[in-house]
């Protein structure tokens, strides 16, 4: 079985799931906060933490930068690892405010410069940085997450389950048009695939829209 082209995978998923309109967030700053808080937890838990910040009228860069760390920990506790995340989030907000004045100014940086800048922040790794670039700055970069790695390894076992982030990101960007909307929706399609069918345990291969182009699925059907 030949490895399907990324655009074929995307079209199959889009036809099955429809346009996903992802990432949830009412502002660029909310996208940034969500990207930081979603590390090592579910989005449902992140939503609870963001709701707490909104209820406390504290979902702003200035308020988080100046907030008492214990209060911030209490507000984002549902997101897990709340002490570590509170320290990181507060530090990120303070640094953006000090060095750029506003998140908007930071997001105006050229894509590669923005990525380099974000990766220099404590608590922002490649997936988090690329999520901010794609969804807040609206610049085309392909976000790689656990759902994408798992699906691609199952579709083609020659793609290691532990493939390096940059290698898989490059694989997609070399084979797809560099369009923000395409990268945005393709990432969302992989998230939906991973939640509904391509789960870590007990994947539902018989119902998966990629079953006939997936090595793993073909062996299970």
pLDDT tens track for 163-181: 999 999 999 999 999 999 9
Q: Do 120 and 82 share a domain, yes or no? A: yes
Q: Do 74 and 120 share a domain, yes or no? A: yes
21 pLDDT higher than 90: no
Q: Do 131 and 215 share a domain, yes or no? A: no
The predicted model scores a pTM of 0.94
Q: Do 154 and 117 share a domain, yes or no? A: no
pLDDT of residue 2: 79
Q: Is the dihedral of CA 192, 197, 199, 205 positive or negative?
A: negative
Q: Do 48 and 80 share a domain, yes or no? A: yes
Q: Do 116 and 152 share a domain, yes or no? A: no
The angle at the Cα of 132, spanning 136 to 194, to the nearest 5 degrees, equals 110
Q: Which two tokens stand for residue 31?
A: 């996208």
Q: Do 40 and 128 share a domain, yes or no? A: yes
Q: Which of 108, 135, 162 is a domain's end point?
A: 135
- Compute how many other C-beta atoms are within 10 angstroms of the C-beta atom of residue 210: 21
The owner of tokens 């020659």 is 158
Q: Which of 135, 162, 177 is a domain's end point?
A: 135
Determine the structural domain holding residue 119 and report its residue range. 28-135
Residue 207 · residue 169 · CB < 8 Å: no
Tens digit of each residue's pLDDT (9 = 90 or more) over 148-163: 999 999 999 999 999 9
């Amino acid at each position: 079985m030949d490895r399907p082209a990324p655009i074929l995978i995307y079209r199959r998923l889009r036809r099955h799931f429809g346009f996903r309109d992802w990432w949830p967030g009412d502002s660029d700053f909310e996208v940034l906060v969500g990207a930081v808080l979603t590390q090592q937890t579910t989005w449902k838990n992140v939503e609870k933490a963001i709701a707490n910040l909104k209820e406390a009228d504290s979902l702003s860069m200035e308020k988080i930068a100046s907030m008492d760390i214990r209060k911030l920990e209490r507000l984002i506790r549902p997101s897990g690892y709340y002490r570590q995340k509170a320290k990181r989030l507060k530090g990120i907000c303070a640094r953006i405010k000090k060095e750029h004045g506003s998140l908007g100014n930071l997001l105006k940086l050229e894509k590669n410069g923005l990525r380099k800048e974000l990766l220099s922040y404590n608590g922002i790794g490649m997936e988090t940085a690329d999520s901010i670039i794609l969804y807040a700055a609206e610049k085309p970069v392909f976000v790689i997450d656990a759902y994408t790695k798992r699906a691609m390894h199952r579709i083609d076992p020659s793609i290691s389950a532990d493939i390096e982030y940059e290698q898989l990101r490059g694989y997609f960007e070399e084979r797809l048009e560099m369009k923000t909307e395409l990268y945005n929706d393709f990432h969302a399609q992989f998230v939906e695939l991973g939640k509904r069918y391509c789960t870590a345990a007990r994947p539902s291969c018989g119902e998966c829209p990629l079953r006939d182009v997936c090595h793993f699925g073909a062996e299970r059907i």
